[in-house]
Amino acid sequence: MKRAPSIDEWLMEAKADPVAARIGMFLVHNGVVRETPKALVRQGVDDSTLVKGMMFSYDAAKVDAVIEKTRQMEGIFYVRAWLNEGHLEVGDDIMLVLIGGDIRPHVVDALQFLVEKVKTECVTEIEQK
């Protein structure tokens, strides 16, 4: 498990970046390990168990490619992501993402795109019950 970075520091760095004058909105995503199993939340399948932790890993090259695609989206000027790894407990940070762009629809779309791609194409999550 890695130590999560400071979102406050990320925002200060983003606002000091040369592109900051073009940014009208930042969105942050902080994914955490929950005790509710994915099958229950996503598919309604209840096996009466709770998640106690998870093994989490990711393909860094794939994550970098998704970040680069996100940077190329309309109105997006700042993208930063951090992913944890190893054995994580309930409440631990899985992922932090910061997106900065010109207007809300562009930033919301970019955040949704990046998180969805990372979660479906770049990571391996094995729930431990």
Nearest to 75 by CA among 25, 15, 5: 25
pLDDT in tens, 62-91: 999 999 999 999 999 999 999 999 999 999
Predicted structure pTM score: 0.91
Mean pLDDT of the chain: 95
CA distance 53 to 68: 30
The structural domains of the chain, ordered by start, are 7-128 (3.90.1170.40)
Report the run of H or E that residue 44 belongs to, with start and end.
none
